[in-house]
Amino acid sequence: MQTPAPFEYERATSVEGAIEALQRLGSEARVIAGGHSLLPMMKLRLANPEHLIDINDLHELSYIREEDYEVRIGALTRHVELERSDLLTLRFPIFRDAEEVIADPVVRNRGTIGGSLCQADAAEDLSAVCSALKASVVIRGPQGERVVGLDEFYIGPFTTAVGEGELLTEIRVPLRPGAGNAHEKVERRAGDWAVAAASAALWTEGGTIAEAGVALSAVGPTTVQCTRAEELLRGKAPSEELFAQAGEIASEDCSPVADGRGPVDYKRHLAGVLTKRALRRAAARAQHQED
Amino acid sequence: MTIQVSININGETVSRDIEPRQLLVHFIRDTPGLTGTHWGCDTSNCGACVVLMDGKPVKSCTTLAAMCEGHELRTVESLERNGELDPVQQGFHELHALQCGFCTPGMLMTSRALLDENPNPTEQEIRIAISGAICRCTGYKNIVAAVQWAAQHEAGARQEV
């Protein structure tokens, strides 16, 4: 029987209360929301928190809304809500692309976007999505809020910029004209983690790529932001050749390891192909927006 | 440390002192008469432990019992009412949608939740809905057919009313 090691449990009734508890309990405390990453790790003794702060009652952290030229998503918003959001499907269809292949529908009823990002598993899909979209996150602590870009969020495997006594409360995705975005993933079977996955986001102006985001899952120690591929894309007109070149760069710039999901050369190959496909779909969607 | 947890299961409140680490699947199965929920892979992959929490299917091996206080749970035992099988159960019976039966409680609850939300699902929608539940005997064909059978019979029953 797999059961977590003993811990003490408390249920937060407010965001302030959760932060106060995290402050009081220090490094031995962890936040639990959906629990579908944390509890398996606790069963395997890969995580051994002495205290769990349950934030499932903090309904004020569950929303998807447009505000100040951003789409703002509360940290407790569940995968199923991201998958079915009309606002996200309209503005950032990349979320639905990813959600349809994250675990399975029953798991998606529980897991949350905040939990996915804070887990900081390099194979997790939403981290690549948010990185490609140049999103930022709001981290709240006893001294107030700070906003951190996704490019500074991941410090290492399973480690983020969220410090002791802090809580990730919101994800902000900037709204800019001419946006197109897509996520492509290859998995061994329905609901598995990615062998490799690629997120691509383009913002076009008059037929030229004004800004680009490319990020990869499962092919490095953390989510891989492909800055060289992004530089290549900026200022150019979308084309198959360009996307193939960006794919080659992505394939070179990732650092997969061999495991049960495949050898290194296969994963590099996938990273390239999936980057190209994601860019192609992102460009088609951007074109559709501009028309 | 133990804490007192009260959970509404199938319309009745069950209260017990438990360790916070107790998983929902064990809380349910430790309740007299409620061993229908199966404890399978323990890793949220197989779906044998699926129960409904506020009407939505969740994997009870990856949920703490303590997290369920204040929520309404339904287990497979709630499907049969007044000696009559739920249409989903009847469909599984009619179309031989089980062999060993181990996955069946989770399959039934996952299918029940699907039909509650979408009374007329396509075959593809059924396959996606049960993609988090693994059956090693039947190959899913009969399970999908059983859910379709239940959908048709429920639609028929609604027309008669």
Segment A183-225, tens digit of pLDDT? 999 999 888 999 999 999 999 999 999 999 999 999 999 999 9
Is residue A258 a part of any domain in this protein? yes
Please report which confidence band the pLDDT of residue A290 belongs to, taking 50, 70 and 90 as the band edges.
Answer: low
Cβ atoms of B150 and B91 within 8 Å: the answer is: yes
Query: Which amino acid type is present at position A170?
Result: E
Is residue A200 a part of any domain in this protein? yes
First to last CA, chain B: 53
pLDDT at A191: 87
Among A83, A106, A187, most B C-beta atoms within 10 A, so best to mutate, is A106
My answer on whether A66 and A162 are in the same domain is yes
Cβ atoms of B92 and B108 within 8 Å: the answer is: yes
My answer on whether A202 and A242 are in the same domain is yes
CA B34 – CA B40 distance, rounded (Å): 15
Is residue A1 a part of any domain in this protein? no
Domain boundary among A174, A207, A233: A174
Instruction: Answer yes or no: do A191 and B131 touch at CB < 8 A.
Output: yes
My answer on whether A138 and A232 are in the same domain is no
Residues of B in contact with A11 (CB under 8 A): 66
Nearest partner of A290 among A237, A244, A251, A254, judged by Cα:
A237
My answer on whether A167 and A194 are in the same domain is no
Is residue A283 a part of any domain in this protein? yes
On the question of pLDDT at A1 being above 90, the answer is no
pLDDT digits (tens, 9 = 90+) for A36-47: 999 999 999 999
Query: Which amino acid type is present at position B13?
Result: T
Nearest partner of A141 among A180, A160, A167, A120, judged by Cα:
A167
Residues of B in contact with A103 (CB under 8 A): 44, 132
My answer on whether A183 and A256 are in the same domain is yes
Instruction: Answer yes or no: do B67 and A35 touch at CB < 8 A.
Output: yes
CA dihedral B98, B104, B110, B114 (to 10 degrees): 30
My answer on whether A184 and A165 are in the same domain is no
For chain A, the average pLDDT equals 96
- Altogether, the residues listed in chain B come to a count of 161
Token pair 């079977």 is found at A189
Residues of A in contact with B50 (CB under 8 A): 106
Residues of A in contact with B128 (CB under 8 A): 105
Among A11, A38, A104, most B C-beta atoms within 10 A, so best to mutate, is A104
Q: How far is CA B33 from CA A256, A280, B28, in A?
A: 49, 56, 9
pLDDT at B138: 85
pLDDT at A280: 98
CATH of the domain at A12: 3.30.43.10
SS3 B132: helix
Residues of B in contact with A191 (CB under 8 A): 45, 131-132
SS3 A51: strand
Taking CA atoms, what residue in B is nearest to A38? B62
Domain boundary among A118, A144, A174: A174
My answer on whether A169 and A210 are in the same domain is no
Q: Exposed, middle or buried, B161 (CB in 10 Å: 0-12/13-18/19+)? A: exposed
My answer on whether A187 and A169 are in the same domain is no
Residue B147's φ and ψ, nearest 5 degrees, are: -70, -40
Stretch (H or E) spanning A129: helix A125-132
pLDDT at A291: 56
Strands of B56-59's sheet, edge to edge?
Answer: B12-18, B3-9, B72-74, B50-53, B56-59
* Number of domains forming the structure of chain A: 3
| Range(s) of the domain holding residue A112 | 62-174
Q: Does B132 touch chain A (CB under 8 A)?
A: yes
Greatest pairwise CA separation for chain B in angstroms:
55
pLDDT at B157: 87
pLDDT digits (tens, 9 = 90+) for A125-176: 999 999 999 999 999 999 999 999 999 999 999 999 999 999 999 999 999 9
Alpha carbon of residue B5 to chain centroid: 22
On the question of pLDDT at A31 being above 80, the answer is yes
DSSP string, A67-115: ETTEEEEETT-BHHHHHH-HHHHHH-THHHHHHTTSS-HHHHTT-BHHH
Q: What is the pTM of this model?
A: 0.96
Residue A266's φ and ψ, nearest 5 degrees, are: -65, -45
My answer on whether A96 and A120 are in the same domain is yes
CA A109 – CA A40 distance, rounded (Å): 17
SS3 A273: helix
pLDDT at A190: 85
Query: Which amino acid type is present at position B138?
Result: T
Is residue A19 a part of any domain in this protein? yes
Domain boundary among A149, A174, A199: A174
Cβ atoms of A155 and A161 within 8 Å: the answer is: yes
Residue A46's φ and ψ, nearest 5 degrees, are: -80, -20
My answer on whether A191 and A264 are in the same domain is yes
CATH of the domain at A147: 3.30.465.10
pLDDT digits (tens, 9 = 90+) for A63-75: 999 999 999 999 9
- The residues with which B50 forms a beta bridge, in sequence order, are B59
Out of B23, B57, B133, closest to residue A109 by CB: B57
CATH of the domain at A209: 3.30.390.50
| Mean pLDDT, 10 residues at a time, chain B of 161 residues | 96 97 98 96 94 98 97 98 97 97 98 98 98 93 98 89 68
Q: Exposed, middle or buried, A189 (CB in 10 Å: 0-12/13-18/19+)? A: exposed
Mean pLDDT of A9-34: 97
Instruction: Answer yes or no: do B58 and A56 touch at CB < 8 A.
Output: no
My answer on whether A39 and A123 are in the same domain is no
Is residue A2 a part of any domain in this protein? no
Is residue A233 a part of any domain in this protein? yes
Out of A2, A39, A106, closest to residue B57 by CB: A106
Cβ atoms of B151 and B90 within 8 Å: the answer is: no
Instruction: Answer yes or no: do B132 and A35 touch at CB < 8 A.
Output: no
Structural domains of chain B, with CATH: 3-78 (3.10.20.30), 87-160 (1.10.150.120)
Distance from CA of A30 to the nearest CA of B (A): 14
Instruction: Answer yes or no: do B42 and A110 touch at CB < 8 A.
Output: no
My answer on whether A185 and A129 are in the same domain is no
